[in-house]
Amino acid sequence: MQRDSIPDLADIELMTAVAEKSALALRLLRDIARDYAPVVFANSLGAEDMVLTDMIWREGLDIGIFSLDTGRLPAETYALMAAAERRYGRRLEVFSPRHELVQEFVAGHGINGFYDSVEARKACCQARKIEPLQRALAGKQAWITGLRAAQSPTRDKLKTVAFDHANNLVKISPLADWSEREVWVYLRANDVPYNALHDRNYPSIGCAPCTRAIQPGEDVRAGRWWWETPETKECGLHLVDGKLTRIATSKVGAGDTAEAA
């Protein structure tokens, strides 16, 4: 969200709605920690994910938090990781890609080979994002994401609790019914750290070479893999309604879980 469109905290109605939704989300997180252990939160470090980070760490919930370091993240994202650790006095669990897979990709496609074809880009995402995500989720009963239904037409089918058939575990999205304004009210009201790129027209932030700022009127995901056509863009990290179908990124909103990429 651009700085000039950040909502006013004097809006009582909005503040009340956020307080009520925050209480519900927190109750859900407590229930999840009790009923689905071991459970992890895949923290992409997007705005929504910082809301959940604040809830989990401030409340001391028994929910692990991890992020994926693709090795190509913007400096601002690494700065946010450090700021969050300082703020909450906790250490983020960071999963890095297997070096042999990255080396294999670079040897075959070149250091920036992901620009050359959709297949090459998917291969890079597989090595740097998807394989580490699968490792992070291994042995867990459930995972938590910061997905919101309002982020796109596709995500309007997003359920707060669903079964993730691809990863064979329960997937929970406590902010499924939150609006973007509500997310930013929460962040501002609780002084939660967020990625500085959000203030520079980056609503959705992934790897540095694959993310650009958007122009007024552009879709929030227009800055992701901008050189590809909407039809070929894929996130590869999330499924809709448990189907083993990759989601076109043109239909996927900001804050893709595990999209610390």
User: Which residue has the CB atom at the shortest distance from ligand SF4?
Assistant: 207
Under rule CB under 6 A, which residues in 34-73 are in contact with ligand SF4? 70, 72
Question: Closest separation between CB of residue 153 and ligand SF4, Å?
Answer: 23
Task: Give the binding range for ligand SF4 (CB under 6 A) out of 4-12, 75-83, 117-125, 160-168.
Answer: 117-125
Peptide bond into 203 cis (omega under 30): no
The answer to the question of residue 149 lying near ligand SF4 (CB under 6 A) is: no
Q: Measured between alpha carbons, how far is 3 from 20 in angstroms, rounded to an integer? A: 24
Using the minimum distance from each CB to ligand SF4, give the nearer residue, 115 or 163.
Answer: 115
Which residue among the candidates 125, 207, 210, 235 is catalytic per the annotation? 235
Give the count of residues interacting with ligand SF4 (CB under 6 A): 13
Under rule CB under 6 A, which residues in 210-229 are in contact with ligand SF4? 210
The answer to the question of residue 113 lying near ligand SF4 (CB under 6 A) is: no
Distances (CA, A) of 123 to 108, 118, 203, 223: 10, 9, 25, 20
Task: Give the binding range for ligand SF4 (CB under 6 A) out of 43-51, 77-85, 120-128, 244-252.
Answer: 120-128
The answer to the question of residue 121 lying near ligand SF4 (CB under 6 A) is: yes
Using the minimum distance from each CB to ligand SF4, give the nearer residue, 125 or 172.
Answer: 125
Place of tokens 């920036």: 112
Q: Are 181 and 37 in contact (CB under 8 A)?
A: no
Q: Quickly count: other Cβ atoms within 10 Å of residue 117's Cβ.
A: 13
Distances (CA, A) of 138 to 48, 127, 142, 165: 24, 16, 10, 13
The answer to the question of residue 125 lying near ligand SF4 (CB under 6 A) is: yes
Catalytic site residue 235? yes
What is the dihedral sign for C-alpha 181, 186, 190, 193? negative
Q: Measured between alpha carbons, how far is 75 from 147 in angstroms, rounded to an integer? A: 23
Q: Name the site residues for ligand SF4 (rule: CB under 6 A).
A: 70, 72, 114, 121, 124-125, 128-129, 206-207, 209-210, 261
Catalytic residues: 235
